C-alpha cells in the first residue's frame, strides 16, 4: 500500500493481493487516525459480505471468489476497546453487469484499491447495543 497525506485526509493505493479492511486498519494505527469517513473504488476478489439478520442478531456471511468491480465502497473508522474498527459497505459489479453488495468483512484487492479517508480530530467509539447485539457508534 502507498498513501499520500493532505491536511486532514489520506489517499491510499492498496495494491493487488492486499486485504482492503486490514490495510485501512493498519494505516489507522500507523498514522494515529482518530476517526474518519472512507470511500473508494477498485476491484476485489475473495470477498466476504454480510447481511444482518435482526431476528437472529447476527450477520449471515457469504464469500464470493470471482473478480468484481468495486463500484461503491463507503464507511467509517471508529474504535472498540482502543482497536480501530472499519465499518464499510460495498456494491460490487459482476461481469454480467449484475450487482451484489452488503457489509464488507474482507476482500483482497484484484487490481487496485483507491481509497480516500477524511479524518476527524475526535475519536469515535463503539459500544454494545443489547437490542441488536451489535457494537454501534456511541456519542
Average pLDDT over residues 71-94: 97
pLDDT for 71 equals 98
Cell of 62: 457469504
Condensed to tens digits (0 to 9), the pLDDT of residues 26-56 reads 999 999 999 999 999 999 999 999 999 999 9
CATH of the domain at 6: 3.30.1330.80
pLDDT for 90 equals 98
pLDDT for 92 equals 98
Bigger pLDDT: 93 or 139?
93
pLDDT for 10 equals 98
pLDDT for 72 equals 97
pLDDT for 14 equals 98
Q: Please give the tally of structural domains in the chain.
A: 1
Name the residue range of residue 21's domain: 2-138
Condensed to tens digits (0 to 9), the pLDDT of residues 92-137 reads 999 999 999 999 999 999 999 999 999 999 999 999 999 999 999 9
* 40, β-bridge pairs: 73, 115
Which residues, 6 or more positions from 14, have their beta carbon under 8 angstroms from its beta carbon? 1, 20, 23, 42, 109, 112, 113, 114, 115
Amino acid at each position: 500500500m502507498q498513501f499520500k497525506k493532505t491536511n486532514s485526509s489520506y489517499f491510499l493505493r492498496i495494491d493487488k493481493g492486499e486485504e482492503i479492511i486490514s490495510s485501512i486498519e493498519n494505516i489507522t494505527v500507523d498514522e494515529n487516525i482518530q476517526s474518519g469517513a472512507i470511500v473508494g473504488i477498485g476491484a476485489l476478489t475473495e470477498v466476504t459480505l454480510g447481511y444482518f439478520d435482526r431476528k437472529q442478531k447476527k450477520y449471515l456471511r457469504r464469500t464470493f471468489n470471482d473478480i468484481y468491480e468495486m463500484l461503491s465502497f463507503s464507511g467509517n473508522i471508529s474504535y472498540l476497546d482502543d482497536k480501530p474498527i472499519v465499518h464499510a459497505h460495498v456494491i460490487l459489479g459482476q461481469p454480467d453487469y449484475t450487482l451484489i453488495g452488503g457489509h464488507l468483512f474482507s476482500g483482497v484487492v484484484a487490481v487496485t484499491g483507491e481509497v480516500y479517508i477524511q479524518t476527524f480530530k475526535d475519536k469515535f467509539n463503539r459500544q454494545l447495543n443489547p437490542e441488536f447485539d451489535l457494537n454501534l457508534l456511541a456519542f
